Amino acid sequence: MSGTVVDAFGTGLLDTTVTALPGGGHRWLRRPGPASADGFTPLADRLREAVGAVPAGAPVRPLLGRPAPDGARIYDAPGRHSAAHWLITGGGPHAAPGGARALADVLRGVGALLAALHRQPVPDEARRPSRAAVRLHRWLSGRTTAAGATPADLLGAEAVGPLRAWAAEAVQPSDGHVLSHGAPGLGALVLPGPDGTPDGPAALLTGEDLCAAPPHLDLGWMVGELVELRWLMGCATEPRSWQQPVDALLDGYGSGHAAGPGPCARESHLRGGALRIALHAHDTAAYLPDSVGQARLYGVLATAFTKEAAA
């Protein structure tokens, strides 16, 4: 690949290389990590059509990749860094290009994008469970360990039962499942500028995990990551600045969905958030060397979030 590598990072689960192209712009190359048990979801034409039917609109768009050797995907993205990078290295939402308000606008766009994706018919090619939910369910069911750590080790015995039941619900076929992104994380949300294309929309890398799942799995994924970062870093910044993107995400998703805002939906996206944080505890232990101690830290939050979701 021509261009200059400007960033490269990875775990046993996922490798990413970002290259600055000679003519401008950035190319993201992502491939399953060396310890990943599953490859990316094949991007059949009907899946491309389903994602392509999502109405285009600022400030965020789904960005489908194209195949590369060794099971990798290539994305021509609007920037060098993801939202996760800006939030972690900058210490909070204020560090995103354009500031906290601009980030909230992007998260509102992510919510609208997910809602639009969930309204699409589920092609037969997408009638598979979420790779992430399967990975979590295997561990919660005792079929795998995470670097020797059991679910009770990281999450506490009390949280395992509810999480296992919610993960089982997510991986079982159901008429209520929707076409899901599968892993709409902050690390897959590429923000434009200041070293990318300042006026372009953000892009959500899409296609590696397309599946059929309950809608709260996507929504809770992003909520869980925002809550996790607020928990890790929020004491150093204004708490409201972390709630703003969560509120914007839910506003963007709207109230016409089972997982959207509203008294009956609160439990749903809390469950999705609890699953995401529990998966992060697993993935940290399983795919980062010597990190079981760090995984226990995420487990503490996963346990607290699970109790709230189950209440």
Q: Are 221 and 229 in contact (CB under 8 A)?
A: no
Q: In what order do the strands lie in the sheet with 202-206?
A: 60-64, 202-206, 189-190
Judge whether residue 188 has pLDDT over 90.
yes
DSSP β-ladder status, 60-64 and 72-77? unpaired
User: What b/e sequence results for 85-103 when a residue is b if at least 16 CB atoms lie within 10 Å of its CB, and e otherwise?
Assistant: bbbbeeebbebbbbebebb
Return the number of other C-beta atoms located less than 10 Å from residue 49's C-beta. 11
pLDDT digits (tens, 9 = 90+) for 207-232: 999 999 999 999 999 999 999 999 88
- Is the peptide bond preceding residue 173 cis, with omega within 30 degrees of 0? no
For the chain, percent of residues with pLDDT exceeding 70: 91
pLDDT digits (tens, 9 = 90+) for 253-262: 986 455 555 5
Max distance between CA atoms of the chain, in angstroms, equals: 54
CA distance to 68, 122, 131, per residue, from 38 (Å): 16, 21, 8
Return the number of other C-beta atoms located less than 10 Å from residue 124's C-beta. 11
Q: What is the pLDDT of residue 200?
A: 75
Q: Are 79 and 249 in contact (CB under 8 A)?
A: no
Q: What is the pLDDT of residue 245?
A: 94
Judge whether residue 161 has pLDDT over 80.
yes
pLDDT (average), residues 127-152: 96
pLDDT digits (tens, 9 = 90+) for 170-179: 999 999 999 9
Q: Are 191 and 83 in contact (CB under 8 A)?
A: yes
DSSP β-ladder status, 60-64 and 4-10? unpaired
Dist. CA 9–CA 7, nearest whole Å: 7
Q: What is the pLDDT of residue 232?
A: 87
Q: What is the DSSP letter of 78?
A: S
Q: In what order do the strands lie in the sheet with 4-10?
A: 4-10, 14-20, 26-32, 72-77, 66-68
Contacts of 269 (CB under 8 A, 6+ apart): 216, 219, 220, 223, 250, 259
| Phi (first) and psi of residue 35, to 5 degrees | -100, 5
Q: What angle do CA 111, 271, 162 make, to 5 degrees?
A: 165
Pick the CATH number of 81-309 from 3.40.640.10, 2.40.128.20, 3.20.20.370, 3.90.1200.10: 3.90.1200.10
pLDDT tier at 263, thresholds 50, 70, 90: very low
| pTM score | 0.94
Judge whether residue 264 has pLDDT over 70.
no
pLDDT tier at 59, thresholds 50, 70, 90: confident
Judge whether residue 297 has pLDDT over 60.
yes
User: Of 157, 115, 127, 117, nearest to 140 (Cα)?
Assistant: 157
